[in-house]
Structure 1
């Protein structure tokens, strides 16, 4: 049995790729190759880096899909994909080639030392809620019950985020 999942993608360092859009597209392909099924992808959204807008701007997006496996297996898969794309965890919020965050796992609410679901800061980030509204406008935050449309209006981080053409 599969579980509906929502994963955010972001990058502000193209690494060896021609551009960040190509990098993120390749990451979506890797997610599918790793077993994420029924994938729906948002447009990419551009925003200033946060918290330091002097860093290169970000492209972000969201994929919604179906996962057969546990949250631990998915988190291991996400970490492996990040590593293959050259993700280095140096300083917090430093520029990065790929950031994959598990936003929602079947509406599960979890607060453990290893994982918090839904992602604890996603609802306050326009560069996550905006793309999520594109792929699942009926999504509700499992904690507050608020709709993604409401959360788009109240998100405080990344208010400059705007969609870019595919």
Structure 2
């Protein structure tokens, strides 16, 4: 039996440095781990962008700023096996889940899994808030200017509608 190859979109974010590296180092290391994992092929990462921290109450300019980016890839993993991989990578990079939308060393979200809809207690795909997040949409357009977000339309049109507050990332330091 040949495994089905499914296109995926992943989103990466970090706003806390680790003792062993900066936000960008953490994201780059996580991207390498995922790209080299069994069942992942054709991994392409966007340039990183910097954004204000987003909390349940809205933007927080006092919190450490986030670095964000996305990656397009293909996988033969099931949605939940892919989620397990992403959460294991997050854990290896110090991710803790104590405060919803809290500061973090690494966040990796599964935004799209082919054209599939997954909705259960562990996973919602397409990501339910991707259409509201310039820090997902803007770097996605860097990789695919013709991108379409399932259920919401062309990414360039969505981004024009919500606005783009992201800034090109010039490096930690």
DSSP 3-state at the match of 2:54: coil
* Residue number in structure 2 paired with 1:91: 99
Establish whether residue 18 from structure 1 lines up as the match of residue 26 from structure 2. Answer: no
DSSP 3-state at the match of 1:160: coil
Aligned-residue Cα RMSD (Å) equals 1.5
Unaligned 5+ segments in structure 1 are none
* Residue number in structure 2 paired with 1:27: 30
- Given the two structures, how large is their TM-score scaled by the length of structure 1? 0.92
How far does residue 22 in structure 1 lie from its aligned partner after superposition?
1.2
How far does residue 150 in structure 1 lie from its aligned partner after superposition?
0.9
DSSP 3-state at the match of 2:148: coil
DSSP 3-state at the match of 2:115: coil
How far does residue 95 in structure 1 lie from its aligned partner after superposition?
0.7
- State the Cα deviation string for residues 127-150 of structure 1 (Å, max 9, x = none): 000011111222212113x11111
* Residue number in structure 1 paired with 2:53: 49
* Residue number in structure 2 paired with 1:123: 131
* Residue number in structure 2 paired with 1:151: 158
74-83 vs 106-115, which deviates more? 106-115
How far does residue 94 in structure 1 lie from its aligned partner after superposition?
1.2
How far does residue 165 in structure 1 lie from its aligned partner after superposition?
4.5
Contact kept? 1:109, 1:143, Cα under 8 Å: no
* Residue number in structure 2 paired with 1:3: 6
Q: Which aligned pairs between 1:128-139 and structure 2 lie closer than 5 A? A: 128-139=136-147
- Given the two structures, how large is their TM-score scaled by the length of structure 2? 0.88
Contact kept? 1:140, 1:148, Cα under 8 Å: yes
* Residue number in structure 2 paired with 1:66: 74
51-60 vs 121-130, which deviates more? 51-60
Name the CA distance, whole Å, in 2 between partners of 1:97 and 1:113.
24
Contact kept? 1:42, 1:63, Cα under 8 Å: yes
Name the CA distance, whole Å, in 2 between partners of 1:127 and 1:121.
11
Number of residue equivalences: 163
Name the CA distance, whole Å, in 2 between partners of 1:37 and 1:113.
27
